[in-house]
A and B are shown apart, each in its own frame.
Chain A
Amino acid sequence: MYYFRKVITYLFTIWGAFTLTFFLFRLLPGNPVEAWVATLQRQYSVSSTSIASTADYYKQQFGLNGPLGEQYVRYMYQVFIKGNLGPSFVNYPDPVQVLILRRLPWTIFLLGVSVLLSWFLGIIVGLFAGWFRESRLSSMITNVAIALSQIPAYLIALFLVLFLGYQLGIFPTRGAWDAQYPIGFNLPFILSALKHAILPVTSIVLVSVAGWILTTRSLIVTQLGEDYLNYAEAKGLKPWNIMRRYALRNIMLPQTTGLALTLGAIFNGQLLIELLFVYPGLGDLLNIAINDYDFNTVLGIILISILSVMTASLLIDLALPLIDPRIRTQIQAA
């Protein structure tokens, strides 16, 4: 029953979110095909009649003909029944799914590495900062983390590009790999991709690790007041074991949930970071698509985002009973 309810909520939310985005974008003034046709007309002085038929043809291609309700039904049928996101405008006639799949690995790589790295580092640093909360090092770490967490990642990225990229020239600042290497499973390409990832990853990690440090620290500090920690001390357990088996284990529940949600959100792309480093990920694609009024591509990327966020939270709901015995019992009781 628990699982059934979760899956129903999951499907319903996806439908709702997607419908909302569909209509939001159609409400924007202007029409991509008409704008494009108008440019054609100006530049090549094509006759109005042939232009009209061209426009009609492309409107049909992009599903922009007919009343809004009809467009919606047609689009939903194409996407959810046929699994076709439609042709892209920015890269016509490539279908949107092809475009997204080409970009997706880069975003997953860049943000997956950043999220996992900052989660792991943040929990370790936060654990010690919370455990030794009265030490000077701990309050220093906390203050730095508070400051870092408020700085936008793109600002840090700008500094990194300026100093490490241009002035010192240590790391590449544009693209995801050197074009001289063929894409594939070969060492020079992998090394080049890693080298290109250092600056963008660092700028994202520096900001998000601060968030993990702060949440972990505050969770640990509340753990310190728990009776079971005092009792564990009375049992004569070594502080190291109390920290690991009692304090850390109890905070892993909220922190794992947080990780899953953050991982779900990575498909949104770090738009500004990708723009700044000309990184060929989804964020970069979204930017191009919005500029060109490419409804199909924008909706496709948003669908991926909705799907991944929702799937991540569904997975948490399904996995939490495995992590927390208390939730398990509630489900059995229900």
Chain B
Amino acid sequence: MSNNTKVTTPPAPQQGTVPAPLSQQHALLQIKDTRVWYTTITGEARVVDGVDVTINKNEVFGLAGESGCGKSTLVEGVLRLIKSPGHIKSGHVLFTYPKSVNGEDTTVDLFTMGLNEVRPLRWQHIAYVPQGAMNSLNPVMRIEDQIADAILEHSKTTKAKAMANVRQRLDMVGLPASVAHMYPHELSGGMKQRVTIASAITLRPELLIADEPTTALDVNVQKVILQELLDIRKQLNLTIVYVSHDMAVHAELADRMGIMYAGVMMEVGTTIQIFKDPLHPYTQGLIHSIPDIGKERKRVEGIPGLAPSPLAWPNGCRFHPRCPHVKDICKRVEPPLLEARPGRLVACHIYSELWDKAS
């Protein structure tokens, strides 16, 4: 890193620069009241509808929730990859990255920046491992050219150096150098996924956002790739936001977790806390739906009911139609995401009452 610090210097952003408050110095990404909606014929689909969460430096943050809860839309919004008819309705995403010139950190709001200002941050500071690695590679370009074009776009290195970088990164994800010359159709699904990971780490970004990178793969390959991701994270000091509906993957990978439901964050805490002592009834349902190998065999409990539609979320708490502990207030008032215990955030009236009494 030391010899190419100059290369990774981003141009100073003109807009959206906010000094980071002292208390949040360890925060890398602060997602604030973020809404990403889709305009449909039947009205606005409020897919992401007011998410607040902070991702700290050097952690693996697991974003969990069932299909359709808005996980992918949230990260696509953060990455500014939302396409019409989707749009960012409101919110702020503050991203803090080291500015190598004077050693100070810069904080920018990704939502107020123009796309032209976001572009230099991409891959150098924020990289992305897409959901469908199968179709994310250009079918008519060699692997090395597809990885190198991002390097050459963001830095002034020579083509030879970029190619050497590509081979080194391929090696880090366990791919032979011969893959560099190949075309995407010559690779297996697991290999393509590794290529997208290798590509994402070429410029040593601070933040890696991985959107269900292993979902399409069989468990064996999945396990190997997750291990590689953890190794890479140690080597490169990465912060990873890992999106998956698979709680088992989060148990293995994540330091902290956020549980999303119906476009909002329901619970945030360390992975151990979430698994040992889930607070939100929805989280409890999720945890109980994982079969426990080695324990007494019993029927796995599911969560009754179906996930609601983003076109019309339930009033009050969005989980109340399926909640076993539903109370009167749940049907009327949406519970805020509050700190129920130190470091534990939960949006549930059971705990907000506790919190009210305490204060």
Name A residues whose Cβ lies closer than 8 Å to a Cβ of B: 134, 226-228, 230-238, 241, 245-246, 249-250, 253, 324-326, 329
Contact = CB atoms under 8 A, between A and B. Distances in A.
Contacts of A329: 183, 185-186
Nearest to A237: B153
A234 B81 contact: yes
B153 A241 contact: yes
A234 B130 contact: yes
10 contacts: A226-B135, A228-B138, A228-B139, A234-B79, A234-B130, A235-B199, A236-B122, A238-B119, A246-B138, A253-B140
Contacts of A234: 79, 81, 122-123, 128, 130
Contacts of B196: 231
B124 interface: yes
A106 to B, nearest CB: 38
Contacts of A235: 122-123, 149-150, 153, 199
A323 to B, nearest CB: 8
Contacts of A231: 128, 130, 136-137, 196
Contact of A245 (B81, B83, B128, B149): B149
The 4 closest A-B pairs by CB, nearest first: A236-B122, A227-B135, A235-B150, A325-B183
B138 A232 contact: yes
Interface in B124-160: 124, 128, 130, 132, 134-141, 149-150, 153-154
Given A228-B136, A230-B130, A325-B140, A238 B153 contact: yes
A228 B132 CA distance: 9
Interface in B193-233: 196, 199
B121 interface: yes
Interface size class of B (residues with CB under 8 A): 20 to 34
B120 interface: yes
Contact of B185 (A134, A236, A246, A325): A325
A235 B81 CA distance: 11
A213 to B, nearest CB: 23
Interface in B47-87: 79, 81, 83-84
Contacts, number: 75
Contact of A249 (B138, B154, B183): B138
Contact of B153 (A236, A250, A253): A236
Given A238-B119, A325-B140, A329-B185, 11 more contacts: A228-B135, A228-B137, A230-B83, A231-B130, A234-B122, A235-B122, A236-B123, A236-B150, A245-B141, A325-B183, A326-B139
B125 to A, nearest CB: 10
B186 A236 contact: no
Contacts of A226: 135
A241 B136 contact: no
Interface string B83-118: 110000000000000000000000000000000000
B149 to A, nearest CB: 6
A250 B135 CA distance: 13
B130 A227 contact: yes
A96 B196 CA distance: 62
A292 B267 CA distance: 89
Residue picked from B122, B124, B138, B196, most chain A C-beta under 10 Å:
B138
Nearest to A247: B138
Contacts of B135: 226-228
Residue picked from A233, A238, A241, most chain B C-beta under 10 Å:
A233
Nearest to A253: B140
A253 B138 CA distance: 14
Given A228-B138, A325-B183, A236 B154 contact: yes
B145 to A, nearest CB: 9
A253 B134 CA distance: 21
A236 B122 CA distance: 5
Interface in B293-346: none
Nearest to A232: B138
B179 to A, nearest CB: 14
B214 to A, nearest CB: 17
B357 to A, nearest CB: 47
A220 to B, nearest CB: 15
